[in-house]
Structure 1
Amino acid sequence: MSQENQKQMASFIGKLFRDHFGKGPESVYVSQHHHFLTIYLQNFISPTEKVLLSQGQTTTIEHTRDILMKSLIPETKAYIKYLTGTEYTHFYYDWSLDNKTGLIAASPLDLDLTEGRSEDYEGKEALEKEIDAMSHVVQKSPESIYSFFLNPRTLVVIRRGILIRIEKELIRQGHQEILALTKRKLEKEYLHNNPRFSSILKAQIMDIFVDWNFLYDYSVIIFILKTH
């Protein structure tokens, strides 16, 4: 995706969110590497959500946003294909309400995860071991972990094969949303409270986003780092 296409994508997302949420993000940053795409939103929270947040109603905000995102993803998917000519099929999203930020990630169905694995970075092995340990505590160790830098401030970690039998049964019974909200809360507590990640990456972590594709048993963790 060229810089011009990134600007067009950012403009499209800003307008799309204003139209549906009543207030759009102040800033939108689009990045792409290995056909993996992220859209990072800053200063994104509506006046109504501010009130709900002050009352501790984070679950209400996340539930409402989930409903709205279900209608926004098809439009976003179509626009990405228009700009890039690539069919993006896997979409992930998460919010950091305290930071007023959000992130949307997307990848094609045939994304070659092993491509990113060949790109080493300092601390890669240690970070993936920490991710494996955290996953083991919350559910189980992933069958595989891939990680790569999308850009100097965005680290992508993709886990495959982490669902346990009881989670698969909850999904089969249609409880995907409550499962995602619960898993996200647990995992982000471990991720945010583990000082090893900042130490390994030698950078301050500004945001952490987590989401799942239950159908394919994939999970994406994205670290946003503070760059000097």
Structure 2
Amino acid sequence: MENVINEIQELNSTISKHLKYWYGKGPQTCYSSLHENKLIIHINKFMTPSEKALLENNKEPLAYSFRTSVMDRICKDLQAEIHRALGISFNHYASDWDFVTDTGIILFQNEQANWKCENIDQQTKHHIENKVMKVSANVHKVPTHLEMVMFNKRMFAVKCHEVMLQVEKILYKKGHTDILQERAKEIKKSYQESLGEVMGKEVKGVYMIWDYQYDQSYFFFYLR
């Protein structure tokens, strides 16, 4: 267990160095959590002057597109670094960013990733499920079923299955990802406004990752 903790700490340092190399600026903090073939990386205070300028000029979609493109290149490098550090191969990665709080997450996983977790008490699990179902019914589509994971005492994740409307499937097939991204932003905002508290703690950050190819979404929330 101690070896894994040391490897995670070294990995955090490696990730920060890669981010600084590509951006010219490293994050203030970088924390990783490993759970059954899934690695979640929470990054804090990472905005570059160029991104700040874009946001000040009301060009958030362009700033998000820039961040996503650069992160795609960085994640390809990190796959090899993670394998060297942890001995685990990850062939899927995705990220989401909150420019208001200047935080974000990167998710790495593989086909063996297990999204079922037994370390969440039933009361908390039902509370989260009810919140997700309620928001989904109001602004989107109720998922057919949910899976839930607690990465650490401050980071929860929910995997939602069959969440896309028919029109969204058509937009994805036609390559209109810009429209889907704007829609995803509004859905995430609804979750941010509706969650309130979990386990008696304020929800500090909300992140959403969409897998349009497989009709799934991943919802993460970070507790204060």
Given that 2:120 and 2:150 are in contact with CA atoms closer than 8 Å, whether structure 1 keeps it comes out as no
* Distance change >3 Å, CA 204–CA 5, structure 1 → 2: same
Structure 2 match to 1:134: 135
Name whichever of 8-17 and 119-128 sits farther off.
119-128
Deviation at residue 137 of structure 1 after TM alignment: 2.7
The superposition leaves residues 69-109 of structure 1 with CA deviations (integer Å, 9 ceiling, x where unpaired) of: 22122112222222222221232211111111111112221
Verify the 8 A CA contact 1:92 1:220 in the aligned structure 2: no
Aligned equivalent of 1:193: 193
- Aligned pair count reads 221
Contact 1:210 1:219 in 2 (8 A): yes
Shift of 1:30: 0.9
State the TM-score, normalizing by the size of structure 2. Answer: 0.91
What residue number does 2:219 align with?
221
User: Does the CA contact (< 8 Å) of 2:37 and 2:112 recur in 1?
Assistant: no
* CA deviations over 1:139-188 (Å, ceiling 9, x no partner): 31112111121111111111111112211121111223441x22321112
Which secondary structure state, in structure 1, belongs to the residue aligned with residue 11 of structure 2? helix
**TM-score, length of structure 1 as denominator length:** 0.89
Secondary structure at the counterpart of residue 141 of structure 2:
coil
Q: What's the offset of the Cα at 1:45?
A: 0.6
Checking the alignment, whether the CA contact within 8 Å between 1:132 and 1:141 is kept in structure 2 is: yes
Instruction: Specify the SS of the correspondent of 1:146.
Output: strand
- 1:2 aligned counterpart, secondary structure: helix
State the secondary structure of the residue aligned to 2:197: helix
Shift >3 Å, 4+ stretches: none
CA contact (8 A) 1:89 1:107 kept: yes
For 1:205, the equivalent position in structure 2 comes to 203
Which secondary structure does the structure 1 equivalent of 2:14 belong to?
Answer: helix
Work out the CA distance in 1 between the residues paired with 2:105 and 2:192: 17
- What is aligned with 1:81? 83
Q: Distance in 2 between matches of 1:45 and 1:65?
A: 9
* Distance apart, 1:200 and its partner CA: 4.2
For 1:138, give the aligned amino acid. Answer: V
Q: Which consecutive residues of structure 1, in runs of 5 or more, have no partner in the other structure?
A: none
Does the aligned pair in 2 maintain the 1:90–1:213 contact within 8 Å?
no
Looking at structure 2, the residues matched to 93 and 163 of structure 1 have their Cα atoms a distance apart, in angstroms, of: 19
Distance 1:152 1:87, change over 3 A: same
Note if 1:37 corresponds to 2:35: no
8 Å Cα contact 1:41/1:103 also seen in 2: yes
Identify which range, 154-163 or 130-139, moves more after superposition.
130-139
Take 2:56 and 2:112, find their aligned partners in 1: how far apart are those partners? 42
Question: 1:203 offset after TM fit, Å?
Answer: 0.6
Percent of aligned pairs with the same amino acid: 24
> Aligned Cα RMSD in Å?
1.7
Shift of 1:49: 1.6
